[in-house]
Chains A and B, each alone.
Chain A
Amino acid sequence: MTAPDQPDIDQESQNPPEHARVWMARGARAAVSIPAFILTAAFVGYAGLARETGLTLFETLAMTGFVWALPSIVVLTGAISSGMGILPAGIAVALASVRLMPMTMALMPLVKVPGKTKTWQLLIASHFVAVTAWVFAMKHLPDMPREGRLPFFIGFGAAVTSFVFCMTGVSYLLVESMPGMVAGALFLLTPVYFLCSLWGRQGSMPTGRPWSQDCCSDRSSSPICPGWICFGPALLAARLPTSEPGSCAGGCRDGGINGRWIGIRNLVATGDDHHRRLVCN
C-alpha cells in the first residue's frame, strides 16, 4: 500500500502548505454530515442535562471544548452534581476516557506520514478523537491519500467541535422552552447512531470499505459484538447498577477482556492475511 504512494509523497513535499490547507477545507466540508448532525443533537440533549444539573453556561461550554467526548462529559457532570471531590471526579473521568487511548492508537498509523508528520501535529489532532470523529475517520480515511489524512481529520474535527460548541451554548439558553420528551429523544440518538455505525459496512456514504474490518464485520467473529453488547451490561447490572465510576471501570475491564478474546480469535481464525481480506471484502 505504501509503495505506490511513494511518488506522491515526493511530489507533495514540494508544495505542502497549500495541499494541507486544501485537505483541511475538505475535512471541514465533510463535517456537514449525518454523524455531525447526530452528535450536535446529542449535545443539544446534553445541554438540557447540564442545565438540570445546575451547571453554568460557562462550565457547560468549557466541558464541551476541553473534554470533547460525550460519555466523559456526562460522567463529569454526574460527578459534579453528586458533589464529588476533584480527585474522585478526575478518576471517574479518567476511567471513562481510557477507551480514547486504544482509539487514538488505532488512528495514529492511519494519519501519520512516516518521517514527516510531527508529534505536536498528532497531539493536536488527538484532541478531536471521540467516538463520532473516530468512527468517521476509520471509515473514510483509508480511501484518501496518506498526506491528506491528517489535515482532513483536523479540519473535520475542528469544524465539528466549533459547530457543536456553538450549538451547545445556544441550546443551553433555549432548553427551558424545550419539551422534556425532545431532550430525552435526543439522548437516544447517540447510542443508536454508535450502534448502527459500528456495524455499518458501507454506512451512509458509498465508500464501500468496512472500517472495522477486523472486528465486527469479520464473519468469523461477528457474533461477538452483539454478544458483548448484551453480556457486558448484564455484568454491570448485576454488580453496580447505580455507581457511575464503578460501571465505567467495569465497562472498561469487560471491554478489555472481551476485546482481547476477539483479538485472539482473530489471530487464530484469520491468522493468514489473505484469508482476512477475503472475509472482509
Chain B
Amino acid sequence: MIIIAGWFATDVWRWLGVFAGGRLREDGELLIWVRCVATALVAGVISKLILFPQGVLAETPLWLRLAAAGFGFASFFAARQRVFVGVLAAEIFLVSGWLILDTMAS
C-alpha cells in the first residue's frame, strides 16, 4: 500500500509535467526558466546526497565526503570534463581515505 503511495506520489508529478509541458515551446523564455528550476533542484539532490547521506556512507566524516566530491570534480576538469574520470577519482579518494581512517581507528 505504501508502495502505491510512493508510486502515485512520484508519477503524478511526471504526468502533471506532461500536461503542463505540452504547451511550452522548445526555446521559449518560460521553458528556459523551467529548465533552470529543474537544474537547481537536481543540484539540491546532489548536495543532499553528499551532506546528509543514508546508510553506511553516513558513517564517514563529512569532510571526507566533501573532499572526495571536490577531488572528483577537480579531476573531472583536469581530464577535460570526462565524467567517468571524475567519478572514478572521487571513489578512489573516498575508499582510500576511508581505509586510512579505519586503520587509524583500530
Contacts and interface: CB of A to CB of B under 8 A. Distances in A.
Interface string B26-66: 11010111111111111111111111111111011000010
B17 A196 contact: no
B22 A112 contact: yes
Given A184-B56, A260-B33, A97 B13 contact: yes
Given A63-B3, A97-B13, A255 B37 contact: yes
B104 to A, nearest CB: 15
Nearest to B35: A106
Contacts of A72: 6, 9-10
The 6 closest A-B pairs by CB, nearest first: A104-B17, A108-B21, A259-B37, A99-B41, A105-B21, A263-B33
Contact of A49 (B8, B20, B24, B55): B55
Interface in B71-103: 72-73, 76, 81-84, 86-87, 90-91, 94-95, 98-99, 102
Interface stretch (A7-15, A23-31, A161-169, A211-219): A211-219
A273 B69 CA distance: 35
A117 to B, nearest CB: 9
Task: Name the prevailing secondary structure of the B interface residues.
Answer: helix
A199 B41 contact: no
Contacts of B87: 38, 189, 192-193, 196
Contacts of A198: 39, 42-43, 46
A68 to B, nearest CB: 7
A281 interface: no
Contacts, number: 310
B14 A196 contact: no
Interface of A: 1, 34-35, 38, 45, 48-49, 52, 59, 62-63, 66-69, 71-74, 76-80, 86-87, 89-91, 93-94, 97-110, 112, 119, 122-123, 126-127, 129, 131, 134-135, 180-181, 183-185, 187-204, 212, 214-216, 225, 228-230, 232-233, 236-237, 241, 247-248, 251-252, 254-256, 258-260, 262-263, 266-267, 273
A87 B68 CA distance: 37
A84 to B, nearest CB: 9
Interface residues of B, number: 75
A72 B49 CA distance: 12
B81 A59 contact: no
B2 interface: yes
A192 B95 contact: no
Contact of B3 (A66, A105, A106, A109): A66
A254 B45 CA distance: 12
27 contacts: A1-B26, A49-B55, A52-B55, A62-B3, A63-B6, A66-B6, A67-B6, A69-B10, A71-B49, A76-B6, A86-B5, A90-B8, A93-B10, A100-B14, A104-B21, A108-B22, A122-B18, A126-B17, A181-B98, A188-B68, A189-B87, A191-B69, A192-B73, A214-B35, A255-B41, A259-B38, A263-B29
